[in-house]
Every structure is written in C-alpha cells, then in structure tokens.
Amino acid sequence: MLHCWTVVLVRKFIVMFSFSSFYLKAKIIKSPPCFAGAQIVGVNCHFDPMTCVETMKLMKEGVEKAGLKAHYMVQPLAFHTPDCNCQGFIDLPEFPFALEPRILTLWDMHKYAREAYKAGIRFIGGCCGFEPYHIRALAQELKHGMWGSGLEMHTKSCREYWEKILPASGRPKSASMSTPEGWGVTKGDAELLQHKEATTIKEMRHVLEVQKSKSTV
C-alpha cells in the first residue's frame, strides 16, 4: 500500500513561501513518525486546477532539492476560483449550492491534464465538482490516439477555437468575480464566530453563562 502525503495548499501564501521552506517540507517526507516512507506527494481540493498544478511544481522542486524521490499527485476542484481567499472555495458566496457557473469546461480539463503531465505529475485526478465527463476529458487529452476524432465532421473542428473560447454564463448582469467574506459566510451563530486571537477569559465566562441559562430553561 502506498503512503500518501497530501498537502492542502493555501493560495495566498504561495508567493510568501521561500524555496527553503519547501525544502524543509520535503525533508518531512523522510522524518519519522509522521510521514515516514511517503511515496506520493500531492495537493487536494479547495482551489482550481492551475493553482494546484503551480503549487505542485513548487513541491516537486522542494522534494528534488532535498535529494528525494516521490510520485506526484494533483486532485483540484472542477471550479474556477481566481477570486477566492486563502481558505479556498469554501468562502465564496456561491459555496456550496450555487457553484455551477464556475464549473470548468472540457477544454479547461484538457489544458489542466496537459499542464499537469508536463509538470511531471502522473496521478492526475479531481475532487469536488468533478463529473465523469471531466475525467473522460483528462483521459482523452493524454491517450495515445489522435486528438479531436469526434469533431471531424463538426463545423468547429479547430482545437484552437475551443481552447481560446471564453464561455458566457448566460446570466444577465452576472458578476465575473465574487467578493469572499471570509468566515462571514460560514460563521453561523454569533456565539460561534471564529477569530485569530486566543479565547479570552471574558468570552469563556460569557459562554458558560449562556450554557447555564439554557440548561435552566
């Protein structure tokens, strides 16, 4: 059985990572007990394919810098996420029930498959949003046969046309991007609001008082 080290990438922090930090991450692969014997290094979910592929390039560079060998895996979303924050698509206003306008086309999948392969990744798949036809597109891009055999009799048989097309959403006045609200979308009850600072004694007392008042009702 293969041991897999899956790294959830943080998009906004990618440019902040120095090469040495990825080198250190790579060293973890051979550091027991957490990742001892890891054979696959990859990223999974939360961001679109090209963001994940670019992150894998950095991880691959770090692994090689550490003098290690590993297989590489990428399993991105099937949604466009250029406007999301560091937490990924979970903070988009459309998450989770209105993400369909962001879904990738077959041609986006062809590009993703080719770029991932060129980057040296051989475990190429998908996570949230992927449908069977997306996986089929990945296989078609990397198969041994000739491309586009199904379009031989089509009036738009040129591959360049499909690769350059910018699909319209068909939704009048729809925005091209969203403004993520961070935890604002998923915070729920005010008592559950998360923040960066440590919980204060005052906040703990308030929670205990609320709990006590509810238990006496």
d(CA 61, CA 208): 49
Please report the beta strands in the chain, taking only residues with DSSP state E, as ranges in sequence order.
Answer: 4-7, 40-44, 71-75, 123-124
> CA 22 → CA 50, 59, 91, 153, 166, distances in Å?
19, 6, 26, 49, 35
128 labelled as ligand-binding? yes
45 labelled as ligand-binding? yes
- The residues near 38 (Cβ < 8 Å, ≥ 6 apart) are 3, 4, 5, 29, 70
List own/partner pairs for 146-155 with CB under 8 A and 24 or more apart.
none
Residue whose tokens read 């990618």 = 14
Residue whose tokens read 């009799």 = 153
Please report, in range form, the residues annotated as the binding site.
Answer: 45, 127-128
Please report, in range form, the residues annotated as the binding site for Zn(2+).
Answer: 45, 127-128
